[in-house]
Amino acid sequence: MTDLSSRVDAFMQGAVDLHIHSGPSLHPRKVDHIEVLRAADEAGMRAILLKDHYYPTMPITRLMNDNLGYKTEAIGAIVLNNPVGGLNPSAVDYALKQGARVVWMATAHAKNHMEHEAKEADFKNKFPVNSRKTVAAIPATLTDDSGAVRDEVKLILDLIAEADAVVSAGHHHISECFPFYEEAKARGVKRLFLNHPTYVNEGNLEDIRSLVGMGVKMEHSICMFVPSTFHLFDDTHLQEVIAAAGVENTFFGSDLGQRNNPTPVEGFRQIIELLIRLGYDDAQIRLMTSTIAADLAGLA
């Protein structure tokens, strides 16, 4: 075993991945929920979050944690796409009271995401396609035509604040993210983050700096920086987005589980290796691969 491999092994002990797309799912998946938890446990990870675009995962994570005997904790979540009624306060209420820790606003059914999918062939080729035809989606927005946060979104934020849960603006445009996070803060939500801010959200480095100033953590998708079907960004961009937010506001989620890609554990190892190669020190790497995500999710 090389020194580098040993260092990666050490960082995997206690690592936290809050962005795993395992199956079953309408999107083709490489690993199922049990396989990915087993692999994370073997690697010594502290926790992983199971995210599906179309169904809440907390009943599955509850069963896994109670019955499989692994040390790694599985975390449940809900994504507010059409199958749960879109931006539906009732779905959020029930999910949180059944143990969901993270709530994503719409992803695949955000108006912004759907517009990207309709006009950009490369985007359509990269994002997974449903394995079966589904009814046409109703596009979601966080704000109305005047730019005000929608009433149903305000109620969702109240529920998240009451549960001290975590929220992400999902795949909505960066112009919607700012009023959304302002409203979240005003309503007492303390656990805020945004995934892949420079991808479908169309944020830039200044947007990252501004959101961080509002208390929003930045989660970057490992699959966009390592060899995968989603690879989009070079090492320079990685360093720029980390610098814009600061190491203390940056963490990584694999965003993996799709066919033809590394597994989430493999991807996590690859980003750690890349961070080592780019010269980040041990304390910085530990923050970005474990501590910040653990604190955000409220892990004991």
Q: In this predicted model, what pLDDT tens digit does every residue of 150-209 receive, in sequence order? A: 999 999 999 999 999 999 999 999 999 999 999 999 999 999 999 999 999 999 999 999
Asked if residues 192 and 217 have their Cβ atoms less than 8 Å apart, the reply is yes
Calculate ∠ Cα 208-192-217, nearest 5°. Answer: 40
- CA proximity to 111, closest of 135, 133, 80: 80
| Residue 27: pLDDT band with limits 50, 70, 90 | confident
Which two three-digit tokens encode residue 14? Answer: 């206690």
pLDDT of residue 28: 87
pLDDT of residue 1: 58
CATH of the domain at 194: 3.20.20.140
* Burial class of 2 by CB neighbour count within 10 A (0 to 12, 13 to 18, 19+): exposed
Instruction: Provide the mean pLDDT of the chain.
Output: 95
**Strands of the sheet with 217-221, listed across from one edge:** 77-79, 102-104, 166-168, 191-195, 217-221, 250-253
Cα separation values, 74 from 15, 293, 299, Å: 13, 14, 11
Whether the pLDDT of residue 119 is over 90: the answer is: no
Asked if residues 64 and 38 have their Cβ atoms less than 8 Å apart, the reply is no
- Number of separate domains in the chain: 1
- Judge if the upstream peptide bond of residue 197 is cis by omega within 30 degrees of 0: no
Whether the pLDDT of residue 76 is over 80: the answer is: yes
pLDDT of residue 246: 98
pLDDT of residue 47: 99
Cα separation values, 207 from 23, 172, 204, Å: 33, 14, 5
Domain span including residue 13 = 3-297
Whether the pLDDT of residue 124 is over 70: the answer is: no
pLDDT of residue 31: 97
